[in-house]
Structure 1
Amino acid sequence: MNFPFPSTLKLLILAVIILSSKNVFLGAESATLSTDREALLSFKSQISMEPPNALSTWDPNSSPCNWTGVVCNKLGERVVELDLSDMGITGSISPYIGNLSFLRSLQLQDNRFTGTLPDELGNLFRLRIMNMSFNSIEGAIPRNISRCRELKIVDMMQNEISGIIPEELSELAEVQVLNLGRNHLSGAIPPSIGNLSSLTVLILGTNTIDGLIPSELSRLRNLKQLDLTINNLTGTIPPSIYNMSSLVNLAVASNDLWGDIPNDVGVTLPNLLILNLCINKFTGTIPGSLHNLTTIQVIRMAHNLLHGTVPPGLGNLPDLQMYNIGFNKIVSSGESGLDFITSLTNSTRLHFLAIDGNLLEGVIPESIGNLSKVLSNLYMGGNHIHGSIPASIGLLSGLTLLNLSYNSISGQIPQEIGQLEKLQMLGLAGNRISGIIPSSLGNLQKLNDIDLSWNALVGSIPTSFVNFGYLISMDLSHNKLNGSIPKEILNLTSLRTFFKLSNNFLSGPLPQEVRFLQGVGTIDLSGNHLSGNIPMSIGMCKSLEKLFMANNMFSGPIPDTLVEVRGLETLDLSSNQLSGSVPPDIQNLNALQLLNLSFNNLEGEIPTGGVFSNISRVHLEGNPKLCLYSACENSGGRGVQLILISVIITIAVILTLCFTVGLLFYIKKGKAKAMASFDSSKGQQHQMVSYNELRLATKNFNQENQIGHGSFGTVYRGYLGEGIAIAVKVLDTHIIGSWKSFFAECAALRNTRHRNLLKLITSCSSIDFRNMEFLALVYEFMSNGSLDDWIKGKRRNSDGEGLDIMDRVNVATDVACAINYLHHECESPVVHCDLKPSNVLLDEDMVAKVGDFGLARLLIARTDTQSSISSTNVLKGSIGYIPPEYGLGEKPSTAGDVYSFGIMLLELFTGKSPTHESFVGGLSLKKWVQLAFPTNMEQVLDPELLSDIEKLCCDDQSISPEIRRDCLKTVIGVGLSCTSDSPNERISMRDVYHKLKCVKEVILKPDVS
């Protein structure tokens, strides 16, 4: 039955229904906000922070919408943003964060979060921004993150995230920024990343990603920034990548990428603004079309293997801000070799120019002064630039750094450099600059670092240097400066790192004002004519770690105040005229590692504590009036004091070995025999070469004749009176171990003769013109330099080519032959201990010879009266080539040499040093090669070898690819067999030699049928 309702009653019922529905709805919404509250409180329970009250507003009894870092939607119904960035938070990310189902922005960056990323992040379906950068999050990226389909920004930079890049990331169709840089990601870049059509920024730099760059990345039409820096990527950059017409930033620095840069780069990247290809293994030339990109702002190609010249067209780049082609093999020749710099005068926004570390010749053009007024950094060092520095360089008013070091620049320092008022670093070291130091340099009041060392500067040190109010380091060493040390420059209280005036002709006393150098770490005044007492005020230099004052004429006592320099690590006062006793409190300097007081007039009792308890760290020879406590007691008060027993032993050994070395070169051929005593020698003696003869042979040890510098001295080229070319290694007798190096080399080569060992002609132990000790070894001269120079491309043949495959096999076989001889064919086996490319030299016929036996050890069996010469446990060798067992205290062994040879062999065929900066995170040269061996060897071979291998032939017949590959496989296999971690698992040098010899024979006489 139907009853009519009054209209008022109908309205009342409708209102009740609406209110009831609203209450139900609000109750449901309150429940969901309660869920968000519980999720946030669970999140908070797993973290701590500094300051601890940073989240004090997170009161369980209040609405989350009022909490710090929390943002709710407009109706206050759900949490949509959580921003806790840079709040000093530690702890892990709670899985309960996945309950914030309405969250659109999650920003936890710049904290100290640890642990792994919870899988529950995949529940945040509405999330658009996820920023967890700069934490310590580890583990893999959750694959179900792909469920967050609305993500636009994913930033996990600078964490400890590992594993591979999940393929599932390709499902984030809306993502615009994907930043996974500076983690520990490995594996290859998924080709499916190319499906992220909205991507504008892709950063995968500083990981351990390997493999090739997938060509599918070319589908990222909106990409503006691509960063693949510091990975293990191989192969070439796919040409299709260059079709990304909107690319703004291409950064693939510091990988193992190799191959030529396409010449059409300027055509396929018309909108490119920033190009970064630094620290790779790119070969070929700089693409000429690159200079057609008229809007480009940054070109960075440093640290590659690029050759050829700088292509024309630099004048077409008005917006260029940075041009860096440093550390390649770019060449130029003739007086006008640097004229390409003139083209850059159109780039009025240029602020960074680096062409250093190349093979550029020529004169710096006068037009350099017309470069951009905002140019702040100018790197031109490490080339073959000659001529003088143009005065126009003073017009570059924006310069903050000027580095022209290590060229062949001559002439004087222009006064106009003093006009560069913003200059902070001035590097002119290692040139042939002469004349005086202009006083106008004192106008550079913002200078932090000045290096004028290794030139031919004369005159006095300008007192105007007192104006250097911000100077941190000063190096004026190895010049011809004279006069006294100005008191004014000792008032540079800003000096912090070093103050070097060594190897000049400075005279007079050291002023008391030295006390103002209170912040300096190193003071080096050695090798001058300074006299008078060492001022007591030296003790006020509280920050000193190294003090060198050797080879002067200082007199008087050693200042007692030196004991107040608590951080002193090295103190060298040798070869002076110091008198008095050794301050006993020196033994209380706990940081002191080296004390050299030799060749003075010291007397009295020698302390026994501290550094004096380790005789290898103390040098007291040449002070005959020094004595031990007991020796002083036994003198009966007559002042007759005994020499330290250890010094007697050292001198006796030195005299014995010197005499033995002399006899070595005077015995007739065929008459050499093991002698019980020196008196039994009947060989005809030959006069040792004198200091004066070597001085004349090297033109007074002219820097122009310097061909090398090692751990214990400097090597010069010279010619004896008969026109015989020689290499003279002048040892620095003040360096710890130089004497031991001298005797080790003589002992190792005394009874060794081999075509692949560097011939030691004679030696010289004498007094130089300063009445100082002079010690030198004279070798045959090797006209083709070191293997290291060839590997690094510093040397090439007359056709401009480097080492081909036959050259490398020949060198490897020569070295193996020499080491096999030392290990297995000598009367007493010899361990070289320092095998590396810089110690392998090449003669005019490219025959390799092993040199530098300064660390060598004879393996003499232990007897009752004779201990093994190899009994030392001191780490021997060079970083990267030292076998792992030496680091655990094992003695030098033939197996250690095998390891070093293996590393050198891998370097020879890959072109990559074991200390290359790409070998990080546990990756090494050996592991890198192992990953590619044997199926993908082309990925690790030196790019210069690849084209050469294709041309390899014998008797005008091409050698089959199978034979070529087998030869390379054998060579690389030998290198890996030599570098086993366990010395017992390494093959012997005899086996190495025979395997390489077989490879050589196969190449020379292959079966080409």
Structure 2
Amino acid sequence: MQLDIKTRITFLRNHLQINMRIDTFHPLVSLLISSCVFLVASAQSVPTNKMDQEALLGLKSLISDPSGMLLSWGNGSACTWSRVRCNPRRRISELDLQGLNLVGKISPSIGNLSALRFLYLQNNQFAGEIPEQIGWLGQLQTLNASANILTGNIPAALTNCTNLKTIDLSGNAIFGTLPASLNLLQKLRVLKIARNQLNGSVPPSIGNLSLLSTLDLSTNNLTGTIPYELGHLRQLEYLQLSINNLTGTIPETLYNLSSLSFFAIAKNDLHGKIPSDVGFRLPRLLVFHNCFNRFTGPIPPSLHNVTDIQSIRMSNNHFSGSVPPGLSALRNLVMYNIGFNQIVDNTSILVDLMNCTKLEFIAFDENLIEGILPDSIGNLSSSLTKLYVGGNEISGYIPASIGRLSALTLLNMSYNQLSGGIPLEVGLLKELTMLGLAGNKLSGVIPAEIGDLVKLTKLEMNHNELVAGIPVEFGRLQRVLSLDISSNNLNGNIPASIFLLNSLSSLLNLSHNSLTGALAENIGQLEKIAAIDLSYNFLNGSIPASIGKCQSLQSLSLSRNSLSGVIPDTIGNLKALQTLDLSSNQLSGVIPATLVKMQALRLLNLSMNDLDGLVPNDGIFKEHSIVYLDGNPELCYSNMTCYYIHSSRHRKMSIAIAVGAAAMATITILVGISLLFLPSKWLRNRKAKILDSFMKRSHPLVSYEELSQVTGSFDNINLIGTGGFGSVYKAMLRDGTAVAIKVFDLHKIGALKSWVAECEALRNVRHRNLVKLVTMCASMDFSGNEFRALVYELMSNGSVEDLIHNGRQGENVPRVNADMILSIAIDVATALDYLHNDCGEQIVHCDIKPSNVLLDTDMTAKVGDFGLARLLSPTPAGQDVSSTHGLKGSIGYIPPEYGYGSKPSSKGDVYSYGVMLLAMITGKRPTDPQFGGDMNLEKWVRDGFPHRAHELIDERLRGTTQQQQQQQQQQLTRNNIILPVMEIALSCAMESPDERSTMHDVLCRLKRIREVFLKNHSF
């Protein structure tokens, strides 16, 4: 048998070590063996170098090189190629490909670079999985593949690279769990796997990496608690675990890491109290971030004794009490954020912070801070860029010295009790991009100097007592995205320059003022805007036809004005419009036929006008609950009614002329008007209340621009799932709401119909077991293409599919048990009972399956994905209640009758629900390969029930050891949960719809099971 060179060298070296005692007595033998090793290695150096060269060419073959930096590869020796460095033995020891914009995959041939010590692949567009062959690189010390679009699991073979000191895989789309064998990398000092999609828990074995100085696992989907073993990392300087789904308290051991300088656990679900002596125990701490958790108690006083600290970020917790003394001693402080807590203090905080000359960020908004702003506020750090003091109880005026904070990019003082005028010196803050003064008692005129803030993107001065006109100088705000000066006492015309702000893409709100005059024709310049609200003013004239050019408009409200003329046909061009309110004006003429074609429209209010003619009977006009037309007496709903109204009016005029009873006619008309006026006024107020109620229930509109921004231009890093009609991205909206954004691919047949169906189904439903629809977006993208998206609450624990199936593949998801099965079954049954019986119009989901049932932080199950849902209308007995044919649902969960052409029904949901319960209990998918021919999941369970039921139950419910099996068997008989639930599932999955239970009956039976369990096992 012939051995390769590497094996032979290893054999000779080992033989030499085993016979070390021979060296003492036989130096010639030792010299001979060493010479053999050298000669063999030298003889094979050329082939080994050639193997390096071939490995690089294999890597190059799978990538494109737009910059041409790799053109030299293939010419001469590999050691002369660009971005390649060799060791003295002419072996490749460093490969630096960072920042070349390379596109492609990492070739498995990279594993043949056996002498490689440093591998830099960051800031490219490498896709696909990291090859397992990377585990062959036994000499590797640094692996940096960050900022790519890599996917798949972290290869377990990576732990074979025992010389690794740095691993940086951040900023990819890597998923899966962390290898438990990480503790084998005993030389590891830097571990960064942030901004990926890792799940499972943090392996306690990381605590064995005694040399680790940097640990960054932020922005993943990690669950469970922080292992106390991390407290063994005595050399740890940087710990970043932010933006995961971690729970529990912070282990006390972490506060003993005296070398720690960066400590971030923000945006998890951690709780408890922070030790009062944390500052003494972490003397080198420079950054302390733990926002968006649930910590209670006072701010640790010792934290202000860490005089070198640079960043304190403790927002969105439940801290109470006052700010401890010592702020003025933190001379190196750059960020101080205690916003969104329950801090009770006064504005002297700002005086203490004036000694912190490096401060760039101050936030104590949404607390209970009171007092007046110090006149010396302008003495804060000249480096200050963001100042958040809104949502408190601060009173008094805004000091003129505020104008000295020339570096400010954000100033938010909204929702306090500030009074007096807006100082002219605000106009000196030339770097401002956001100015928030809303919800105060500010009075006087709006300074024209605000027009000098040409970098502003957001201006909020609504809900104050400002007077006079809107400054013409606002026309200089050419970067503004949102402008809200509603609910003041402003008067005069709307400057035409406002409508030239074509940067406006979010909101223009001038409502609830006393503005007059006609709307300028150039309102059509606002092509990117999502919402315009000019209601509750005294505007007159007609609605400009140019309004039809606002192609991104989702909401338009011109109600409660004195607008006249006809409704322009061009409004029908607004394909993204969801809300149109033109009520309480003096509009006349017919309802434009173009309104019928507006598929995105979800509210149309044309009430209290002078419209006439025939009301359309198609499109949105079929939905009487969302169309308001009352207060237009000349409107008619059929040709016969129109004829009668016209004839009646003609006869009245003829009689009046023939008889000549002008006086009597006048009196009659006056009396008629008087009689009509009272109910009309009542109806107007009533409809206004209904509309106000609807608008209060509605969520703020969101633009395509915002969705694109918060998802990183819909980057795959934020992709959490794909479906038949589009993709789902996780994101954080600008208001801090964690959401899942479902983007529809309108190129796919049925996608738009699915979007409409989901909107229709969720328009009026509200239930704790339905995934909450936060808002929606029907707009245009930056290329002018139609864009549709639904924004849902983010469900942090994935789906039931993940729970019952992916968990079987080794993922560290919560352990499935009988109680959990029952809880999920009740949650889903509650949701379906509500949809079928209690939400007004009966709704059939049509696609109940484990992947459409999502789990929140508390493991509450919620039904989602209404893309196939159908609204069912009552019909005479014996008739099918659906108006839609076709096979609806997912393979394995589709009721048998749908396959024979039956229409969707509530009994179809019951069948799908029953199959889902069986999948949860057995751990098998309906599409399992063992099912075929006449056999399916339901028949397989029914054949074994009840005598062999225990054999059908998922092994995780039965247990894996004998003791666990005994305990689980006792639980099955004692708690009486799984077998009754299985029986209910079978009653739901009957082949005949008439033999199936109703969801209401199912829910009652499940609740009785829970009541019996709680009664028998109360403590």
Normalising by structure 1, we get a TM-score of 0.61
Within 5 Å, give how 1:579-658 maps onto structure 2. 579-587=588-596, 592=601, 594-606=603-615, 618-627=627-636, 630-631=639-640
Residue in 1 aligned with 2:416? 407
Aligned counterparts of 1:713 and 1:96: Cα–Cα separation in 2: 53
Q: Of 464, 482, 491, which residue of structure 2 is paired with 1:482?
A: 491
Residue in 1 aligned with 2:97? 84
Within 5 Å, give how 1:60-139 maps onto structure 2. 62-74=76-88, 77-89=90-102, 91-139=104-152
1:992 to partner: Cα distance? 6.7
1:32 to partner: Cα distance? 0.8
Aligned counterparts of 1:891 and 1:361: Cα–Cα separation in 2: 56
2:405 paired with 1:389: no
Deviation per CA, 1:776-820: give whole Å up to 9, x if none: xxxxxxxxxxxxxxxxxxxxxxxxxxxxxxxxxxxxxxxx9xxx9
Aligned counterparts of 1:57 and 1:441: Cα–Cα separation in 2: 57
Residue in 2 aligned with 1:929? none
1:196 to partner: Cα distance? 2.8
Q: In the alignment, is the contact (CA less than 8 A) between 1:194 and 1:218 conserved in 2?
A: yes
Aligned counterparts of 2:601 and 2:161: Cα–Cα separation in 1: 61
Distance 1:56 1:625, change over 3 A: farther
2:264 paired with 1:264: no
Structure 2 SS opposite 1:330: strand
Residue in 1 aligned with 2:446? 437
1:307 to partner: Cα distance? 1.5
Distance 1:619 1:87, change over 3 A: farther
2:270 paired with 1:284: no
Structure 1 SS opposite 2:260: coil
Structure 2 SS opposite 1:343: helix
Residue in 1 aligned with 2:308? 295
Distance 1:219 1:477, change over 3 A: same
Deviation per CA, 1:535-562: give whole Å up to 9, x if none: 3443444543432212211111223444
2:474 paired with 1:465: yes
Gaps of 5+ in 2: 1-35, 651-678, 701-759, 766-825, 843-870, 885-902, 911-956, 958-974, 989-997
Residue in 1 aligned with 2:519? 510
Deviation per CA, 1:142-183: give whole Å up to 9, x if none: 344333232221111133434443343223233221111223
Aligned counterparts of 1:892 and 1:419: Cα–Cα separation in 2: 67
Distance 1:403 1:479, change over 3 A: same
1:186 to partner: Cα distance? 3.5
| Percent identity over paired residues | 44
One-letter code aligned to 2:514: F
Within 5 Å, give how 1:735-746 maps onto structure 2. none
Aligned counterparts of 1:27 and 1:861: Cα–Cα separation in 2: 86
Structure 1 SS opposite 2:354: helix
Residue in 1 aligned with 2:931? none
2:171 paired with 1:158: yes
Structure 1 SS opposite 2:612: strand
2:359 paired with 1:350: yes
Residue in 2 aligned with 1:455? 464
Within 5 Å, give how 1:247-258 maps onto structure 2. 247-258=260-271
Q: In the alignment, is the contact (CA less than 8 A) between 1:604 and 1:632 conserved in 2?
A: no
Structure 2 SS opposite 1:235: strand
Deviation per CA, 1:375-416: give whole Å up to 9, x if none: 111112222333333333233222111112223333332333
2:697 paired with 1:711: yes
Residue in 1 aligned with 2:181? 168
One-letter code aligned to 1:491: L
Aligned counterparts of 2:128 and 2:648: Cα–Cα separation in 1: 72
2:53 paired with 1:37: yes
1:612 to partner: Cα distance? 5.3
Q: In the alignment, is the contact (CA less than 8 A) between 1:308 and 1:330 conserved in 2?
A: yes
Structure 2 SS opposite 1:315: helix
Aligned counterparts of 2:256 and 2:355: Cα–Cα separation in 1: 28
Structure 2 SS opposite 1:533: coil
Residue in 2 aligned with 1:49? 64
Distance 1:513 1:135, change over 3 A: closer
1:456 to partner: Cα distance? 2.7
Distance 1:633 1:97, change over 3 A: same
Distance 1:561 1:101, change over 3 A: same
Aligned counterparts of 1:322 and 1:173: Cα–Cα separation in 2: 35
Structure 1 SS opposite 2:198: strand
Distance 1:592 1:991, change over 3 A: closer
Aligned counterparts of 1:254 and 1:326: Cα–Cα separation in 2: 14
2:221 paired with 1:208: yes
Q: In the alignment, is the contact (CA less than 8 A) between 2:613 and 2:642 conserved in 1?
A: no
Q: In the alignment, is the contact (CA less than 8 A) between 2:881 and 2:905 conserved in 1?
A: no
Distance 1:263 1:1002, change over 3 A: farther
1:286 to partner: Cα distance? 0.5
Aligned counterparts of 2:548 and 2:872: Cα–Cα separation in 1: 48
Aligned counterparts of 2:694 and 2:325: Cα–Cα separation in 1: 36
Name whichever of 982-991 and 863-872 sits farther off.
Answer: 863-872
Aligned counterparts of 1:137 and 1:275: Cα–Cα separation in 2: 31
Count of residue pairs brought into register by the alignment: 706
One-letter code aligned to 1:352: F
Structure 2 SS opposite 1:306: strand
Within 5 Å, give how 1:407-806 maps onto structure 2. 407-563=416-572, 565=574, 567-587=576-596, 592=601, 594-606=603-615, 618-627=627-636, 630-631=639-640, 710-711=696-697
Structure 2 SS opposite 1:598: coil
Q: Of 318, 322, 327, which residue of structure 2 is paired with 1:305?
A: 318
Structure 2 SS opposite 1:30: helix
Q: In the alignment, is the contact (CA less than 8 A) between 1:871 and 1:891 conserved in 2?
A: no
Aligned counterparts of 1:831 and 1:556: Cα–Cα separation in 2: 40
1:262 to partner: Cα distance? 0.9
Deviation per CA, 1:596-618: give whole Å up to 9, x if none: 33332223455566655766665
1:354 to partner: Cα distance? 0.8
Aligned counterparts of 2:698 and 2:586: Cα–Cα separation in 1: 25
Higher helix share: 2
Aligned counterparts of 2:528 and 2:469: Cα–Cα separation in 1: 24
Aligned counterparts of 1:861 and 1:535: Cα–Cα separation in 2: 39
One-letter code aligned to 2:286: L
Aligned counterparts of 2:909 and 2:352: Cα–Cα separation in 1: 57
One-letter code aligned to 2:350: I
Gaps of 5+ in 1: 1-19, 642-687, 715-739, 746-815, 835-858, 873-887, 896-932, 934-969
1:595 to partner: Cα distance? 4.0
Residue in 1 aligned with 2:915? none
Deviation per CA, 1:672-704: give whole Å up to 9, x if none: xxxxxxxxxxxxxxxx9x989x99xxxx99xxx
Structure 2 SS opposite 1:145: helix
Structure 1 SS opposite 2:133: helix
Normalising by structure 2, we get a TM-score of 0.60
Q: In the alignment, is the contact (CA less than 8 A) between 1:381 and 1:406 conserved in 2?
A: yes
Aligned counterparts of 2:1004 and 2:433: Cα–Cα separation in 1: 53
1:295 to partner: Cα distance? 1.1
Distance 1:368 1:988, change over 3 A: farther
